[in-house]
């Protein structure tokens, strides 16, 4: 394990760029003082922010570029215009060259996935990566993937996601044989499209030692913790994520308004303040920010683009933890021991524009 964890940041990524990335990095550095940062982007904007955080400035090196990938660029456009000189590309390049252990970006998801896959390539047996996140549930945490790396996928792709997610759960949660469920519109075996039903049949027939397939899981089963790993193709997985985050914010607003509706409610809040704080912390989407681009030959973390500095700090924390627990090596070992757990999972077509 490295004495210092070097983290490459796309300082211009996200809705507001350096004004969130730099304060977020400063928050994370306080929690992990053994971190170092490579900051890629407009040096003038970065230096203006760094002047407010002397400890971060001391632990950072700024690499100037005035090329930024737009949040609206298509992946193909980003590769053409931002390849080799954008802040996003340079952060990923630092991981490939061994100058950094992990790259973190709040930029364009499609562009980040395209650049990371083009530059870092995938692990043996993986045809395309996925965004995997840790989802807080009623019984702990679950790994959920794919949260939006790509749209669609056949049965073999879903099986690949199940194996990768199980490897991540094994490493993060210490589970020898994590339970796996396929996100579907119902739990009955006849429900869902042809590919998801094929994936279910394959997972049962393969009976992999790395995971225990438990069947289909409906949307409300994610928050209930119905399985240690929830598998979905990227389109529905991203919708589930955004719906959950929106619901959490809505619940917080409802609770805040209810507590301010009368003097009796305000008094009641004073007595139950600690309980409400615990609930607010549990519902805070900032604290589940940071999705790992799973399946690459390098560690890359995607943050939400419109996140706060505190939320971005959690994404940086995720990157730090992935390096410290040596996730990449352990997943690669798990996937390829005994002749590769993915040997039976054929490649799936990809929709990239």
- The mean pLDDT value of the chain amounts to 84
CA distances from 20 to 89, 244, 272 (A): 19, 23, 33
Looking at residue 283, what is its pLDDT? 58
Q: What tokens appear for 96 in the block? A: 């490939």
pLDDT, tens digit (0-9, with 9 covering 90-100), for 59-92: 999 999 998 888 877 777 777 776 678 999 999 9
Torsion of CA 74, 80, 86, 91, to 10 degrees: 80
Q: Give the span between the Cα atoms of 220 and 222, in whole angstroms.
A: 5
Reported pTM: 0.82
pLDDT, tens digit (0-9, with 9 covering 90-100), for 11-21: 999 888 999 99
pLDDT band at 337 (very low <50, low <70, confident <90, very high): low
Highest mean pLDDT among 26-40, 61-75, 190-204: 26-40
* Helix H or strand E segment including 291: strand 291-294
pLDDT, tens digit (0-9, with 9 covering 90-100), for 138-150: 888 899 998 888 7
Q: Give the span between the Cα atoms of 125 and 144, in whole angstroms.
A: 20
Is it the case that residue 343 has pLDDT exceeding 60?
Answer: no
Is it the case that residue 272 has pLDDT exceeding 80?
Answer: no
- Minimum mean pLDDT among 43-47, 119-123, 171-175, 201-205: which range? 171-175
Q: Give the span between the Cα atoms of 87 and 81, in whole angstroms.
A: 12
Q: Is 94 helix (H, G, I), strand (E, B) or coil?
A: helix
């Amino acid at each position: 394990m490295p004495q210092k964890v070097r983290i490459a940041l796309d300082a211009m990524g996200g809705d507001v760029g350096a004004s969130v990335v730099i304060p977020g990095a400063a928050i994370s550095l306080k929690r992990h003082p053994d971190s170092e940062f490579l900051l890629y982007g407009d040096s003038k904007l970065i230096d203006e922010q760094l002047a407010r955080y002397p400890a971060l400035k001391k632990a950072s090196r700024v690499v100037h570029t005035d090329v930024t990938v737009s949040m609206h660029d298509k992946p193909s456009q980003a590769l053409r215009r931002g390849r080799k000189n954008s802040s996003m590309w340079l952060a990923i390049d630092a991981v490939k060259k061994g100058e950094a252990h992990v790259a973190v970006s709040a930029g364009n998801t499609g562009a980040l996935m395209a650049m990371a896959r083009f530059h870092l390539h995938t692990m043996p047996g993986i045809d395309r990566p996925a965004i995997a996140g840790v989802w807080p549930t009623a019984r702990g945490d679950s790994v959920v993937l794919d949260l939006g790396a790509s749209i669609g996928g056949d049965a073999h792709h879903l099986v690949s996601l199940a194996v990768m997610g199980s490897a991540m759960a094994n490493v993060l949660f210490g589970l020898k044989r994590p339970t796996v469920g396929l996100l579907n519109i119902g739990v009955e075996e006849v429900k869902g499209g042809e590919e998801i039903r094929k994936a279910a049949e394959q997972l049962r027939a393969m009976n992999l030692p790395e995971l225990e397939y438990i069947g289909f899981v409906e949307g409300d089963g994610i928050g209930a913790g119905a399985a240690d790993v929830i598998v979905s193709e990227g389109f529905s997985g991203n919708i589930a994520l955004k719906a959950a985050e929106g619901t959490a914010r809505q619940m917080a607003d409802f609770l805040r308004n209810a507590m301010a509706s009368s003097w009796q409610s305000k008094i009641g809040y004073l007595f139950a303040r600690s309980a409400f704080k615990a609930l607010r912390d549990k519902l805070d989407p900032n604290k589940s920010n940071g999705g790992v681009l799973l399946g690459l030959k390098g560690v890359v973390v995607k943050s939400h683009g419109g996140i706060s500095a505190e939320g971005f700090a959690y994404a940086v924390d995720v990157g730090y933890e992935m390096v410290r627990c040596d996730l990449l090596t352990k997943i690669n070992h798990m996937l390829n021991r005994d002749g590769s757990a993915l040997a039976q999972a054929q490649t799936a077509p990809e929709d990239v524009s």
